[in-house]
Amino acid sequence: MPQNDPLQIQDFLPYLLNRAAEATSLDFQKAYKDRYGMLRTEWRVLFHLGRYGDLTAKQICTMADLHKTKVSRAVAALQDKRFLERTEVPADRRNELLALTKLGQSAFDHLHQEATRYNETLLASFSPADQEALQRCLKQMANIP
């Protein structure tokens, strides 16, 4: 049984994933930070509402695996910026349904387009087989179906 070389830091997946995540996130941040004054979590929440329709905060927590505190503050910030509105759900007044405003919708439309373009550019440098392997492995590690 051969003794392998000692693990290098750049082969340690949590490290490698963090570096790749930070590099790409900081890169894409250029699309929303200055223009819309959003933070990363706000952009994530906006994406969910724009792409998947009106949701409650709890639903976003579950879908995005975000802590309710983080979502609560992102929602408040998006509301301050007039990107979304809350409407009470009479059936269960603990819930508040979150919906994008016209402004929020147009920001989403633009950013979703940018995200699509960015993603395509990133993926374009990999072979189709690599793209497929990458997505499959990442989803498994992230516990995403």
Partner DNA sequence: CATTGATAGTTACAAATGCAACAAATATCC
Partner DNA sequence: GGATATTTGTTGCATTTGTAACTATCAATG
CB 92 → its own copies: shortest distance, Å?
Answer: 25
CB atoms within 10 A of CB 108: 21
Q: Which of 76, 68, 36 has the alpha carbon at shortest distance from 28?
A: 36
Verify binding: residue 93, DNA, rule CB under 7 A. Answer: yes
* Residues contacting 135, CB < 8 A, separation 6+: none
**Chain-centroid distance, C-alpha 90:** 29
Q: Which of 51, 55, 40 has the alpha carbon at shortest distance from 108?
A: 51
Q: Which residue's structure tokens are 């910026």?
A: 81
Judged by beta carbon, residue 76 or residue 141, the one nearer DNA is: 76
CB 133 → DNA: shortest distance, Å?
Answer: 29
Verify binding: residue 68, DNA, rule CB under 7 A. Answer: yes
Verify binding: residue 142, its own copies, rule CB under 8 A. Answer: yes
Verify binding: residue 64, its own copies, rule CB under 8 A. Answer: yes
**Residue 93 binds which entry of DNA, its own copies, none, with Cβ cut-offs from 5 to 8 Å by kind?**
DNA
CB 12 → DNA: shortest distance, Å?
Answer: 17
3-class DSSP state for residue 55? strand
Sketch the per residue contact string, 23 through 62, with DNA: x for CB under 7 A, - otherwise: ----------------xxx--------------xxx--x-
Within residues 1-60, the interface with its own copies by CB under 8 A covers 6-25, 27-28, 44, 47-48, 51-52
CA-derived radius of gyration, the chain: 18
Selected range binding its own copies among 69-77, 79-87, 96-104, 127-135, rule: CB under 8 A: 127-135
**CA 56 – CA 28 distance, rounded (Å):** 26
